[in-house]
Amino acid sequence: MLVSSIEIKSNFIEPFTVYCSEFGLAAGSFRKNRSRIEKRLGLVRVSAEDLNNTNLLRIAMVQLREYFSGARKNFNLSIDYSLMTSEFQKSVLDEVSKVPYGSTSTYGEVARLLNSSARAVGGANADNPIPVIIPCHRIIGNDGNLRGYAGGIHLKEALLRLEKARLL
């Protein structure tokens, strides 16, 4: 997939790169995972002018900076869902997107809403191509413990702290 990208730096968290196709935000990655994510998702970076998506990148950058500074609670970005691996993954990430800022839910609760298993929900959540924007960091274990996160548990914990989320 052809994308353009921009790295957002913040005093709060390590740099985060967003990738936009001509249809919307397609992916996101923390710096340490960038090359792995680009390879796994088949992202080919070109200039924003070549894709005519300079404005999309600018809007994503502004909104992410606002979020990382604590000034934004919701994102209003066009999403390109073409990198979702299945309709099931899209349904999981749609449910994950409904978890409000400052709140958490569990893999089991999302599974119950979708009549699925917590393991299947965990797998779909783990492959979220757009972390932070699709807030997979808000999904925790049924016991209240933090479970895996692409950027590492320390980043999941930092995002939940930013949102002042209460764990179960």
Q: Taking 90 as the threshold, does the pLDDT of residue 32 lie above it? A: no
Question: Strands 44-45 and 2-8: what pairing?
Answer: parallel
pLDDT at 65: 94
pLDDT at 168: 61
Structure tokens at 139: 């999904």
Q: Which residue has the higher pLDDT, 168 or 37?
A: 37
pLDDT at 166: 78
Q: At what angle do helices 118-126 and 87-97 cross, to 10 degrees?
A: 90
Average pLDDT over residues 124-134: 94
User: Catalytic annotation on 20?
Assistant: no
Average pLDDT over residues 122-128: 93
Average pLDDT over residues 148-166: 90
pLDDT at 138: 97
How many angstroms separate the most distant Cα atoms in the chain? 48
pLDDT in tens, 69-78: 999 999 999 9
The whole-angstrom separation of Cα 130 and Cα 37 is 11
Classify 85-162 by CATH class.
mainly alpha
What residues have CB less than 8 Å from 80, skipping those under 6 apart?
A: 20, 21, 23, 24, 25, 26
Of the candidate ranges 10-14, 79-83, 117-121, 155-159, the one whose mean pLDDT is the lowest: 10-14
Q: Domain-by-domain residue ranges, the chain?
A: 2-68, 85-162
What is the enclosing helix (H) or strand (E) of 16?
Answer: strand 16-20
Q: Taking 90 as the threshold, does the pLDDT of residue 150 lie above it? A: no
Structure tokens at 81: 């869902």
pLDDT in tens, 43-99: 999 999 999 999 999 999 999 999 999 999 999 999 999 998 899 999 999 999 999
**Catalytic member of 124, 136, 155, 165:** 136
The whole-angstrom separation of Cα 55 and Cα 109 is 37
To the nearest whole number, what is the mean pLDDT of the chain? 93
Average pLDDT over residues 134-159: 92
pLDDT at 12: 78
What is the enclosing helix (H) or strand (E) of 139?
Answer: strand 139-140
pTM of the entire structure?
0.93
Q: Other C-beta atoms within 10 Å of 168: how many?
A: 11
The whole-angstrom separation of Cα 166 and Cα 31 is 27
